[in-house]
Amino acid sequence: MTTKKLTLALAATAAIGALAVGGAVAFAAAPGTATSTATQATQAATGDAKIMLECLAANEVGNRGAWRPGARLNTDATHGFLVIRTDKNAAVCVVENGHGTGLMGGVIDNHDYGKLTAQRPFDYLTSMNYPNQSVHFGISTSDVTGVSLVGPDGKSAAATVKDGTFAVLAKAGENSNEPTTNHIRATLANGQTVDGPLRG
């Protein structure tokens, strides 16, 4: 063995010994295996917060820390919807088998909290119309404690209300290309009620 080869072999042996004895050693993650902060947050979250983060990730929505879960409505044992919101906007998350699969129509920015008034403390977000029933989604001011949807037949259905969002399952659909067919009756914290068309 030449002197040069012997020196290289000793250097390699010394390096291996240092790794074995030196304690903690940092290894770089293989390309494509690093876990992002957003992924870690989703994995740590539970319940509706986890579903919300899954939906935001599916649609690649930024600033996920600004969002929070609101009203949730299940249409059957494995399907449902979760309304999510920021201080400005809201969106509807599609839920399948306990997981958020994406946002229905993306972030809805033409109906926002800044447009709510004392005369109309609620607003329409969107609807999902099925053959025999529909789910309607909306936003409200913080002092709205209850929401009922009154259909064209005069029958009312109570909505699930949470943190300025609501969702309600009803018979009558809502077609954005036609005049509104449903009305909202909102109950305020002081006991007063405010009525108006679902789509104002």
What is the residue whose two structure tokens read 């996920």?
64
Per the structure, the count of domains in the chain is: 1
At 36, the pLDDT band (50, 70, 90 cuts) reads low
Residue span of the structural domain in which 128 resides: 38-197
3 state DSSP class of 128: strand
Does residue 21 form part of some domain? no
- The DSSP symbol for 32 reads T
Query: What does residue 39 show for φ and ψ, rounded to 5 degrees?
Result: -65, -40
Does residue 10 form part of some domain? no
pLDDT in tens, 2-11: 444 434 343 4
The pTM assigned to this predicted structure is: 0.77
- pLDDT > 60? residue 175: yes
pLDDT in tens, 125-160: 999 998 889 999 999 999 999 999 999 889 999 999
Does residue 2 form part of some domain? no
Residue 190 to residue 200: CA distance in whole angstroms: 23
Does residue 153 form part of some domain? yes
Does residue 44 form part of some domain? yes
- Tell me which residue of 67, 169, 72 sits closest to 127, measured CA to CA: 169
